[in-house]
Amino acid sequence: MRLLTHNMLSSNIKGVSNGFPLRLDVENSVSKEVEFNPDFLRNMFSKIDWKALVDAARSMGYAELPEEAPDSSMLDSDEFLKKFHHALLELHLDEGALICPETGRRFPVNKA
Amino acid sequence: MKLKQLEGYLGNLEQFCNPKVELEQYPTGPHIASRMLYTAENSFGDIGGKVVADFGCGCGTLGVAAALLGAEYVMGIDIDSQSLEIASLNAEDLELDMNLIQCDISNLAWRGNVVDTVVMNPPFGTRKKGADMDFLFKALKVASEAVYSLHKTTTRAHVKRTALQDFNARSAEVLCELRFDVPQLYKFHKKKEVDIAVDLWRFVP
Ligand SMILES: C[S@@+](CC[C@H](N)C(=O)[O-])C[C@H]1O[C@@H](n2cnc3c(N)ncnc32)[C@H](O)[C@@H]1O
């Protein structure tokens, strides 16, 4: 599972008031090369919760993203886009789970 | 990719080995699955370059088809871990990326309008009443462009009314009527194969 998935999901379990972001339980993570598609990234950028992405990437050992949400002028920088691409689409949670921040319920992820 | 080629790939996928009755686990056959996704792509442009979610993905047939037709990003959600194992192997065999999560679809919410298209063959609701409509409700919330789904033809009027009036769909259209062979997976099916009429729907949320 890649971090785009983590960024868009929240827990909707009955009684949960704020189910986002889900915690990550990282048992094994890998990095898999994915084709670089700048248009897709620019389109995704406005939909992403930046802090959740930065924290998730860090918990998988990648700390190259700027802490502060960058403004959209950064989308012209290839260097920035490459980092965004790597964090969003190339980091894979291979084994582990997403965890509801309030109830602790686990949503296991599968390889691939 | 040609339709025949797509159907060929889907025909080679592994399917449920111990189907669970209560979850209504039966695969969408390669004939129907290939036509469903091929139509979504070639008549409506809802797959190529899009973010696609497969709800109740089982062994992954519909999600795999979306990936083969050029979806940019594919997710599969199922409540059953055994099916997800198989989905994961199917994706690996074809070197496709799927993002698979084990969860009851009602336990997740989706933010940010990231998903363009939802494809699904939901439980018909024969075991758990209303399961089909629970899936449709969720799918219409999550998708920003279109939902493709299969429902029993006998429920056509109900599906249409519920989608348009209760779930605020902008349109609900039956693309074609199909014969769906539900194989004799279950003891309570007396005949060898139960052939039921199923509608292929396209909804616009
Ligand atoms: C009719 S099968 C379709 C399987 C697969 N999509 C296909 O087309 O071959 C329905 C699937 O929905 C899953 N399912 C049933 N209830 C569910 C729920 N509440 N949340 C998530 N998945 C569910 C079942 O495990 C099963 O894999």
Residue B154's contacts (CB-CB under 8 Å, 6 or more residues apart) are B197
DSSP A2: B
Structure tokens at B157: 């009027």
Every domain of chain B and the residues it spans? 3-204
What would the mean pLDDT of A68-82 be, rounded to a whole number? 93
Residue B186: predicted pLDDT = 55
Mean pLDDT of chain B: 93
Residue B48: predicted pLDDT = 97
Q: Give per-residue pLDDT as tens, A87-105.
A: 999 999 999 999 999 999 9
Residue B82: predicted pLDDT = 96
CB A53 within 8 A of CB A88: yes
Q: Which residues of B touch A4 (CB under 8 A)?
A: 51, 73, 99, 114
Q: Give per-residue pLDDT as tens, B6-49.
A: 999 999 999 988 888 888 888 999 999 999 999 999 999 999 99
Q: Give per-residue pLDDT as tens, B133-161.
A: 999 999 999 999 999 999 999 999 999 99
**Can you give the CATH number for the domain in which A53 is found?**
2.20.25.10
Q: Which atom of ligand 1 is nearest to the CA of B104?
A: 20
Ligand 1 centroid – CA B56 distance (Å): 3
Listed by number, the residues of chain B in 55-74 with a beta carbon closer than 8 Å to a beta carbon of chain A are 72-73
Share of chain B above pLDDT 90, in %: 82
Residue B17: predicted pLDDT = 84
From B10, B12, B80, give the residue whose CB has the most ligand 1 atoms within 8 Å, as the site to mutate. Answer: B80
Pick the CATH number of B3-204 from 1.10.150.110, 3.40.50.300, 3.40.50.150, 3.40.980.10: 3.40.50.150
Residue B194: predicted pLDDT = 73
SS3 A111: coil
Q: Which pairing describes strands B117-120 and B146-152: parallel, antiparallel, or unpaired?
A: parallel
Residue-wise over B145-168: b if at least 16 C-beta within 10 A, else e? bbbbbbbbeebbeebbebbeeebe
CA distance B126 to B130: 8
Residue A46: predicted pLDDT = 93
Q: Which residues of B touch A9 (CB under 8 A)?
A: 101, 108-111
pLDDT-based confidence at residue B126 (cuts at 50, 70, 90) = confident
What is the number of structural domains in chain A? 1
Cis ω before A21 (30° cut-off from 0): yes
The parent domain of residue A8 ranges over 3-109
Residue B190: predicted pLDDT = 61
Residue B192 predicted with pLDDT over 80: no
How far is C-alpha B64 from the chain's CA centre? 11
Q: Give per-residue pLDDT as tens, B68-115.
A: 999 999 999 999 999 999 999 999 999 999 999 999 999 999 998 999
Residue B185 predicted with pLDDT over 60: no
Q: Give per-residue pLDDT as tens, B163-178.
A: 999 999 999 999 999 9
Residues forming a β-bridge with A30: A92
What is the model's pTM? 0.95
Q: Give per-residue pLDDT as tens, A8-54.
A: 999 999 999 999 999 999 999 999 999 999 999 999 999 999 999 99
